[in-house]
Each structure stands twice: as C-alpha cells, then as structure tokens.
Amino acid sequence: MVTIAQLEYIVAIDTYRHFVTAAERCFVTQPTLSMQIKKLEEHLGVTIFDRSKQPIIPTDIGVKIIEQARIVLTEHKKINEVVDEFNSTLSGDLTIGVIPSLSPYLLPLFIGNLTSNYPHINVTVVELLTEDIISKLKNDTIDVGILVTPLNETSIIESPIFYEKMLLFANKSHELATKQSLSTSEITTEGLWLLGKGHCFRSQVVNLCSYQDEHNDEAMFKFESGSLETIKKIIETEGGYTLLPELAINNCNPQNTIIRHFDSETPVREVGLVYSRNHAKKRMLEALKTTIEQSVPQELLNAKRGQVVEWR
C-alpha cells in the first residue's frame, strides 16, 4: 500500500534534489527516507528516481508519479481545512512569497494586522522574484504569492487586490522636473535608472519606454539595481529619474527630488494574490486578501484609477 509519508518523501526529494536535505525537511533520518522510497518503488514496480545523476532527478515515470503525489497531498491537507472551518478556527502555516519591489512598502502596512487578527496562523514571508514565486507555487514550497498581475500562467489562480499608480521620480536638475504637466509620451531613456532584469516593475517601465522608442532593452540603460531604494538614493545625489510605484514614494528627499503624476492615461500596476488551483488553504487566503484590502490606502482599490501596464 502506498502511504502518505512515502508520497511526502518523493515530493521532498523532487523539491530539494538531495536525499539528506529531503530527510531533514521531513524530520526523518536519511536511511529511513531511502528505505521507504525503495519500498514504494518495489511496490509499484518502477524506478522513481535516477540515482546515477547528481543532483538526483526523477525518471520519466517518476515525474508523472510525483505530479500525482502532489495532487494527493494537497487534497489530503484539505481534511484539516474542513475541520478548521467546522470549528470556526483559522490556524496553520502560511508561507507568503512577495516580490522585492513590493515587500518593503506593503508588508509594514498589513503584516501586523494579519498576525494580530489571526494569532493561530503561523506566517512566514520570503522575498522572491516573480518567476521564483511561480516555480515554488507549482512545487508547493510556498502557499501564495503577492506580485504584479496579470500573469496568465497555467495552473495559477490570480486574485487582483489593488492598483498602484506609476509616478515620475526625478532629480530637480532633470529636464522632466521642470514640466508642469506630464504624459507617458514624454518618457525618454536618457537619464532613466532601472531595476535589474527579472524584476516585473523593470519590465513595466521598459514597456512604457519601448512604446515610444525603438532601441532594444540591452542598449537603453547604463545602470541596473535590485532595489528601488538604491535607485532613489542615486537619483537624489547623482541626478536622473525613474518611475516608482505609488507605495514607494515615501521617505523621498524633497530638497533634491520631485514627484510628478501623469496627467492622462495614468499607468498603474495591478497587484494581486496568486496561488495554485489545487489549494487547501482557501480561508487563510481570503483572510490575507481582506487584511491587505483593509490596510492599504482605500483609493488603491479602485480598478479604474488608470491603465494597467502589463509586463509579460
């Protein structure tokens, strides 16, 4: 008979691609884990993992078995959800992945409210790029992502929450700082500072600029950073400009910089929750979304604030 523990073990090995690490994550010894997987393979009459490869990889049939195991484990977890719902108790572990251009600005707004209102939820937050969030959702190593939508990704559910305006942030010495009105058609590449590749907000800015300019992505920009805060500091001291999401405009130096709204066709980024279609923590996700909605400035909830800029 195939056991739930055996399914957890093969999923752990597929996730971490290392027997010792998988055993540690499953809180068993490595010999115990290896023995149970061997028993499972003998019971099924197939080899699930190719042990000659480093790191270890699943065989062709192993890939299909592990995929089904993930589905079974997800459905198995729903039993506790049914019991919690019956008891009106919201409890358990919730691992949240948040993109770097959101986490320093959004987390302080809602995380305290979430932990106070739901003290029996054990919250873990990890900062990840969008593609990493998608990968970990599909591998069930995180429960939910907070990132920029739409993704249009198979097997992922999207639930939009709020809409941030994209604002001009410029050193006062830059020519854009002198304009009394501003449109997206005036965005040029000269003096523009950007996040590094892999950041969805970078892609949104590039899309706005590329709409006006035929230069390719590689030639347009001379500097890249992994932090909006770094870019803000550089603009304050060295000049130039960038676009910032609305929640990132706090703590800017008004002596050296200005912030400008676009007068028409205001670009916005849509921020939402994303999670797996086979999810066992629906009520926790609803509580998370509600808490965020109640914690952000209420004008951000208006989907008609501007034109959503896609990035994929």
- What is the rounded average pLDDT for all residues in the chain? 85
Contact 212, 191 (CB under 8 A): no
Which residue from 67, 61, 123 is spatially nearest to 90, judged by alpha carbons? 123
Three-state secondary structure call for residue 211: helix
Contact 33, 24 (CB under 8 A): no
Place 211 in a pLDDT band, splitting at 50, 70 and 90.
Answer: very low
Question: What Å distances lie between residue 194 and 17, 243, 275, CA to CA?
Answer: 35, 8, 28
Give the sign of the dihedral formed by CA 93, CA 97, CA 100, CA 103.
negative
Terminal-to-terminal C-alpha distance of the chain: 45
Tokens standing for residue 40: 């499972």
Which residue from 147, 225, 148 is spatially nearest to 192, judged by alpha carbons? 225
Residue 220 has pLDDT above 60, yes or no: no
Question: What Å distances lie between residue 210 and 104, 151, 187, CA to CA?
Answer: 28, 20, 10
Residues in the chain: 312
Q: Which residue has the higher pLDDT, 113 or 204?
A: 113
Confidence (pLDDT) at 87: 67
Sort strands 156-171 and 257-260 into parallel, antiparallel or unpaired: antiparallel
Q: Determine the Cα–Cα distance for residues 149 and 274; give it in Å rounded to an integer.
A: 8
Q: Determine the Cα–Cα distance for residues 175 and 187; give it in Å rounded to an integer.
A: 11
Q: Determine the Cα–Cα distance for residues 158 and 221; give it in Å rounded to an integer.
A: 32
Place 224 in a pLDDT band, splitting at 50, 70 and 90.
Answer: low
Topology agreement, domain 89-162+269-299 and domain 164-266: yes
Q: Which fold has domain 164-266?
A: D-Maltodextrin-Binding Protein; domain 2 (3.40.190)
Three-state secondary structure call for residue 90: coil
Q: Which fold has domain 89-162+269-299?
A: D-Maltodextrin-Binding Protein; domain 2 (3.40.190)
Q: Determine the Cα–Cα distance for residues 105 and 248; give it in Å rounded to an integer.
A: 6
Report pLDDT digits (tens) over 168-199.
Answer: 888 888 888 888 778 777 777 677 787 777 77
Q: Which of the listed CATH numbers 1.10.10.10, 3.40.1390.30, 3.40.1360.10, 3.90.226.10 matches domain 4-84?
A: 1.10.10.10
Q: Determine the Cα–Cα distance for residues 212 and 206; give it in Å rounded to an integer.
A: 10
282-309 CB burial, b ≥16 within 10 A, e <16: ebbbebbbebbeebbeeebeeeebbebb
Q: Where are the domains of the chain?
A: 4-84, 89-162+269-299, 164-266
Tokens standing for residue 169: 């942030």
Q: Determine the Cα–Cα distance for residues 115 and 123; give it in Å rounded to an integer.
A: 7
Residue 297 has pLDDT above 90, yes or no: yes
Q: Which residue has the higher pLDDT, 53 or 144?
A: 144
Q: Determine the Cα–Cα distance for residues 31 and 108; give it in Å rounded to an integer.
A: 43
Q: Determine the Cα–Cα distance for residues 67 and 299; give it in Å rounded to an integer.
A: 42
Question: What Å distances lie between residue 40 and 10, 33, 35, 49, CA to CA?
Answer: 9, 11, 9, 11
Q: Is the pTM for the entire model greater than 0.75?
A: no
